[in-house]
Amino acid sequence: MSKKLLLKDAHIEGIRYFETYRKQGGYTAAEKALKMTPDEILEEVKASGLRGRGGAGFPTGMKWSFLAKPEGVPRHLVVNADESEPGTFKDRYLMEFLPHLLIEGMLISSFCLGSNVSYIYIRGEYSWIPDILEEAIEEAKAAGFLGKNILGTGFDLEIYVQRGGGAYICGEETALLESLEGKRGNPRLKPPFPAVKGLWERPTVVNNVESIAAIVPIIDITGAEYAKIGVGRSTGTKLISACGNINKPGVYEIDMTITVEEFIYSDEYCGGIKDGKRLKACIPGGSSVPIVPANLLLRTVNGEPRYMNYESLADGGFATGTMMGSGGFIVLDEDQCIVDHTMTLARFYHHESCGQCTPCREGTGWMHKILKKIEKGEGKMEDIDLLWDIQRKIEGNTICPLGDAAAWPVAAAIRHFRDEFEWHVKNPELSQTQNYGLAHY
């Protein structure tokens, strides 16, 4: 059984409220942190090996150490709660059921970073959660954990919740900052990075909800102890939101030592494939990461078991492996059509492209059109090569990672399931009504 750090109290009735959270030991990590110096906290975060839980997996301690500290210029912490990656809903769970864990994490992080005004930018579709967060903020303030002179330390902190307008692109950190400033959420060219010029051109750290929540157990048990959980550079625990054709969709906390097979088939987690069907493929880190066929999902190319961690999932590189990404684990059974699935994703990325870069603006729409043609049985063989060519011209040629996110699913689908694309071309009359089927490979 995986060790629980973030969700250990999630089952307790009323844990959403300050009184219950406090009774369970809530805010003791904050009390401990406020007696430390910011540099000591930073060292703990570095020692923990925590990697950003939003998708990129960049070491959080290193990110914090890049924060510029010009004299007299305010700094900010912005929590990225714009959780819009298809298949990902673990931050929603944290905010809905454990809002004080996030607020406590923000208090510790803001103290470390020197932010007196911090923000939670939350996706518009999570319409009921800002009220939960705002209520928790008021409770924390009433208890002296937010506001002026927190616990007599002289440290002040205000936290504001900002609702997004429902654009996927606002999950990209610079687009998020633009939106938070009241502008259209267009990604910025980098450099300058937010750590130097972020919100209102002030040094800013943008971190995912889960990353900030993880600061609480790190301070609680120490960074060194946190780093002992997990394996290699995949330290601590990770929240996974599992969905698709499984028996038990939901949010699970894993310690990154379990195998993918165990995660899918064990009753503790996904409970196996629905209706006894066979596993066809999986997208383990949200829709942007490459899809992996069952054989490569359960074992690496070397025949080793594949583990639920950053290194093992990526083992073999993009040709065979995938990424931990945001932890949005989407499972596809034998009945799912990969072409249809890829087309749905292409439509999504085309719709969500902000339109600033030509390869993304034009390429995503073009890919969607071609995929639609193939799926309807109106495609030609050369369309598959054209699709491959378009995705290659998008990847790495855009301002923000949405271009890559749109290209990778198409690349992986063609790489691993080319025969399924060809079947659609060769069987126009069947491609609308029948599934290519697992038996073909």
Residue 88 in the binding site for ligand SF4 (CB under 6 A): no
Candidate list 55, 185, 187, 379; residue touching ligand SF4; CB under 6 A = 187
How many angstroms separate the first and last alpha carbons of the chain?
A: 34
Using the rule CB under 6 A, which residue among 80, 287, 353, 391 binds ligand SF4? 353
Instruction: Count interface residues toward ligand SF4 (CB under 6 A).
Output: 14
What ranges in 114-267 are assigned the alpha helix state H?
129-142, 173-180, 209-221, 223-228, 260-265
Rounded Cα distance, 416 and 431, in Å: 19
From the list 8-16, 36-44, 392-400, 419-427, the region that binds ligand SF4 by CB under 6 A is: 392-400
Residue keyed to tokens 């440290």: 155
Nearer residue to ligand SF4 within complex by CB, 270 or 360: 360
The single residue among 216, 218, 308, 399 that binds ligand SF4, judged by CB under 6 A, is 399
**SS3 assignment, position 118:** strand
The answer to the question of residue 402 lying near ligand SF4 (CB under 6 A) is: yes
Cis amide leading into 191 (omega within 30)? yes
- Considering the complex, state which of residue 22 and residue 361 has its C-beta at the smaller distance from ligand SF4: 361
Provide the residue type at 52 as one letter: G
Selected from 360, 370, 411, 414, the binder of ligand SF4 by CB under 6 A is: 360
Q: Is 219 in the site for ligand SF4 (CB under 6 A)?
A: no
Which CB, 281 or 399, lies closer to ligand SF4?
A: 399
Kind and range of the H or E element at 204? Answer: strand 204-208
| Interface stretch with ligand SF4, choices 105-113, 255-263, 283-291, 353-361 (CB under 6 A) | 353-361
Residue 367 is a binding residue for ligand SF4 (CB under 6 A): no
355 binds ligand SF4 (CB under 6 A): yes
- Candidates 41-49, 86-94, 351-359, 415-423; binding stretch for ligand SF4 (CB under 6 A): 351-359
Q: Is 346 in the site for ligand SF4 (CB under 6 A)?
A: no
Orientation of helix 129-142 relative to helix 90-97, angle to 10°: 40
Q: Given candidates 22, 277, 361, 393, which one binds ligand SF4 under the rule CB under 6 A? A: 361
**Is 317 or 355 the residue whose CB approaches ligand SF4 more closely?**
355
Q: Which of 400, 407, 412, 414 is in the footprint of ligand SF4 by CB under 6 A? A: 400
Residue nearest ligand SF4 by beta-carbon distance: 360
d(CA 98, CA 102): 7
> Edge-to-edge, what's the strand order for the sheet holding 158-163?
158-163, 117-122, 76-81, 204-208
Q: What is the C-alpha separation between 89 and 110, in angstroms, rounded? A: 25
What are the backbone angles phi and psi of residue 7, rounded to the nearest 5°? -100, 15
Q: How far is the CB of 356 from ligand SF4 (least distance, A)?
A: 4
Taking alpha carbons only, the member of 358, 356, 436 closest to residue 394 is 358
Nearest distance in Å: CB 186, ligand SF4: 7
CB of 372 to ligand SF4, least distance (A): 20
Contact flag: residue 342 with ligand SF4 (CB under 6 A): no
Tell me which residues in 127-186 interact with ligand SF4 (CB under 6 A).
169
Beta carbons of 203 and 292 less than 8 angstroms apart? no
Shortest reach from residue 353's CB to ligand SF4, in Å: 4
Exposed e or buried b per residue across 401-413, where buried means at least 16 C-beta atoms within 10 angstroms of its C-beta: bbbbbbbbbbbbb
Closest approach of ligand SF4 to the CB of residue 403, in Å:
4
Alpha-carbon distance values, 220 to 4, 35, 137, 186 (Å): 13, 13, 21, 38
Cβ pair 348, 286 in contact under 8 A: no
Return the ∠ at Cα 311 (arms to 308 and 315), rounded to 5°: 100
CB of 338 to ligand SF4, least distance (A): 24
The residues binding ligand SF4 (CB under 6 A) are 169, 187, 353-357, 360-361, 398-400, 402-403
